[in-house]
Structure 1
């Protein structure tokens, strides 16, 4: 039977993941708003699609925290404190640099999802364990798309 420490570790891991989703959503929207250059149209649409996917999962992850008896993040400061995704306040970033940054951040997100999956297994949370496979697949698809834009 999973212990209290395993449940706390899962809640902490999920809150970290929630922070990452919010941080990557904001960064992706920043790049969506500020992308320029020959690939503007395609990247503008891709970044918007990816941001929508990221934001859609914030509520799902937060509800996993609550269903496991935890409290979720309450502020922008809490997101910043828990996220492994670095802020990027730049507005004049080269389009391909944006793609590289988002690719690396989505790779980080995959690692954080895998950590949450492992914590879910330790805590006996089969629902989060199973859902994390879909989250991983979505993040890996974003990595794949961004990688292909960079030439493979």
Structure 2
């Protein structure tokens, strides 16, 4: 058990990085934006994992595999975001309850839904996160933090690509019967 009595750094406090030379007031804005991105990404990650576990039907395998890949990409993006927040002198947000509390997106409830409804819920969240990332990319640019801007662009590329693919899964054209013919 640790004998440390006080936190080395409290969540919300930002210490200026001598190496990065981004003024503390700018770093605070960036870390706050990154922690919001981190929270939203992990809320989406957990929802996508839920759908990965619960998918059923004729297209089960392809969607199951794809949603596993989506979750992996989201986790990789979240890691990049958290490490950048730390590099800027902040403490990355952590913990499921904290993610939901700080995220600008809300997950669906705990019930299981058909895969079309599940993917529609995912697509909505992908769109919300896309808009938020674009705003934070612009913020990083305006504050002169081109590295954060570039890293968020990488995350955005994955988010947009997965949103686009999910949109294709939701198209009406399918080889799978949608019901019985009378």
| Unaligned stretches of 5+ residues in structure 2 | 1-20, 173-182
Deviation sequence 1:6-37 (CA, Å, 0-9, x none):
32221111000001111111000001111112
Quote how far apart the aligned CAs of 1:4 are.
4.1
Q: How far has the Cα of 1:63 moved from its partner?
A: 0.9
Match of 1:52 in 2: 72
> Do 2:55 and 2:114's aligned partners in 1 also have CA atoms closer than 8 Å?
yes
1:1-150 maps to which residues of 2 (within 5 A)? 4-150=24-170
Which is worse superposed, 28-37 or 129-138? 129-138
Q: Give the deviation of 1:87 after TM superposition.
A: 2.2
Higher relative CO (CA 8 A, sep ≥ 6), structure 1 or 2? 1
Structure of greater Rg: 2
Distance in 1 separating the partners of 2:125 and 2:35: 17
TM-score (norm 1): 0.91
Structure 1 spans left out of the alignment, 5+ residues: none
Whose helix fraction is larger, Structure 1's or Structure 2's?
A: 1
Higher deviation after alignment, 87-96 or 108-117: 87-96
Q: What TM-score results when the alignment is normalised by the length of structure 2?
A: 0.77
How far does residue 60 in structure 1 lie from its aligned partner after superposition? 0.8
Deviation at 1:89, TM superposition (A): 3.3
Q: State the superposition RMSD in angstroms.
A: 1.8
